């Protein structure tokens, strides 16, 4: 094989040593073949832990490969230098026992993975809703300031309006005429995302509903938000708490992922070795 493939640089070949197992009966091998096929797919699904490592290390993605290891070596090297682990998976035991041990190990890893990532994912989702969501839903506590609003007037109020990017020009031309009693030149772009911008506009309080209605007709969305210093402080405190909780969870979760990604990958490659062995016996052994 090396001679043939090296001529055109088709592949790099290494030996994949598989020990001799206690084969058992033909019927048991047929059953094991089906079970190993399912176990192979199941083990492969656990490799999603690698993506979890990437997500947890969002601020240090350049160092991700340092955590994608099996027995202390990179995953490719583990496969190309594969050696059967007799301590974890005793080859002298019946194949059924070896497969059962591997299946239980992988099932436990999946159970732990679900429980450990659930809390982190919930926390991450809450953070994204508050800080990464669109302008209609995300928190504004880190965006707006007291100076953006008319707070000391008995009659005037400041609204926040979400304007699609293609409609910026239309907004500037028409916002003063969407309703009576809009303060001229009172709009200001506070922030924007890929879809649109958040603008202020100041008007008399008694025309708010009319202004909202006319804004909707022109595809402008008035965000329900009124500046409250206490509420802003509360939201900022909540964001700080969420960020602190995330930081506290990241370390232990990353260590667990590193250890169990290694264990799951090792079990996966051993499952493939078992599968090769069983399928080979079924195809080529003489049972006459």
- Read off the pLDDT of each residue in 166-176 and give the average, rounded to a whole number: 97
Closest by Cα among 271, 254, 264, 252 to 46: 264
Percent over 90 (pLDDT), the chain: 66
Binned at pLDDT 50, 70 and 90, residue 239 comes out as confident
pLDDT given at position 286: 63
- Read off the pLDDT of each residue in 147-173 and give the average, rounded to a whole number: 95
pLDDT in tens, 251-273: 899 999 999 999 999 999 999 99
pLDDT given at position 58: 75
On the question of pLDDT at 183 being above 70, the answer is: yes
pLDDT in tens, 197-226: 999 999 999 999 999 999 999 999 999 998
On the question of pLDDT at 62 being above 70, the answer is: no
pLDDT in tens, 126-158: 888 777 778 988 889 889 999 999 998 999 999
Whether 162 and 135 have beta carbons less than 8 Å apart is answered as: yes
On the question of pLDDT at 42 being above 90, the answer is: yes
pLDDT given at position 228: 87
pLDDT in tens, 92-129: 999 999 999 999 999 999 999 999 999 898 888 888 87
Whether 203 and 183 have beta carbons less than 8 Å apart is answered as: yes
Query: CB under 8 Å to 133, separation ≥6 — which residues?
Result: none
Rounded Cα distance, 90 and 121, in Å? 37
Rounded Cα distance, 139 and 231, in Å? 11
Q: Could you give the dihedral angle defined by the CA atoms of residues 229, 230, 236 and 242, in that order, rounded to the nearest 10 degrees?
A: -160
pLDDT given at position 288: 52
Percent over 70 (pLDDT), the chain: 97
20-29, 80-89, 104-113, 164-173, range with the lowest pLDDT: 20-29
Rounded to the nearest integer, the mean pLDDT of the chain is 91
Contacts 24+ apart (CB under 8 A), 25-30: 26/282, 26/287, 28/95, 28/96, 29/95, 29/278, 29/281, 29/282, 30/282
pLDDT given at position 219: 94
On the question of pLDDT at 243 being above 60, the answer is: yes
pLDDT given at position 59: 64
Question: Does 52 or 220 have the greater pLDDT score?
Answer: 220
Closest by Cα among 238, 142, 228 to 190: 142
pLDDT given at position 164: 96
Read off the tokens for 79: 């496969």
Q: Give the relative orientation of helices 229-284 and 95-131 as an angle to the nearest 10 degrees.
A: 160
> How do 221-223 and 196-204 pair as beta strands?
unpaired
pLDDT given at position 146: 92
pLDDT given at position 138: 86
pLDDT given at position 287: 55
């Amino acid at each position: 094989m090396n001679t043939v493939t090296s001529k055109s640089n088709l592949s790099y070949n290494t030996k994949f040593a598989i020990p001799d197992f206690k084969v058992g009966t033909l019927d048991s091998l047929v059953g094991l073949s089906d079970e190993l096929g399912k176990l192979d797919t199941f083990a492969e699904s656990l490799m999603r832990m690698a993506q979890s490592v990437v997500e947890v290390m969002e601020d240090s993605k350049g160092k991700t490969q340092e955590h994608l290891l099996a027995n202390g070596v990179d995953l490719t090297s583990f496969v190309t230098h594969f050696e059967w682990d007799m301590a974890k998976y005793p080859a002298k035991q019946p194949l059924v026992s070896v497969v059962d041990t591997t299946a239980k190990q992988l099932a436990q890893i999946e159970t732990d993975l679900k429980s450990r990532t659930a809390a982190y994912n919930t926390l991450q989702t809450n953070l994204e809703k508050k800080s990464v969501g669109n302008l209609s839903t995300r928190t504004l506590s880190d965006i707006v300031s007291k100076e953006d609003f008319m707070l000391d007037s008995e009659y005037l109020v400041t609204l926040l309006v979400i304007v699609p990017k293609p409609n910026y020009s239309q907004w500037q031309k028409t916002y003063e005429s969407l309703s009576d009693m809009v303060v001229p030149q009172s709009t200001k772009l506070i922030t924007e995302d890929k879809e649109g911008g958040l603008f202020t506009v100041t008007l008399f309080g008694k025309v708010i509903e009319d202004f909202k209605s006319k804004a909707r007709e022109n595809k402008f969305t008035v965000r329900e938000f009124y500046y409250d210093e206490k509420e802003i402080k509360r939201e900022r405190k909540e964001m700080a708490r969420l960020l602190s909780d995330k930081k506290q969870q990241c370390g232990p979760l990353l260590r667990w992922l590193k250890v169990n990604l290694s264990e799951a990958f090792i079990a996966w490659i051993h499952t493939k070795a078992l599968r090769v062995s069983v399928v080979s016996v079924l195809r080529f052994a003489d049972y006459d």
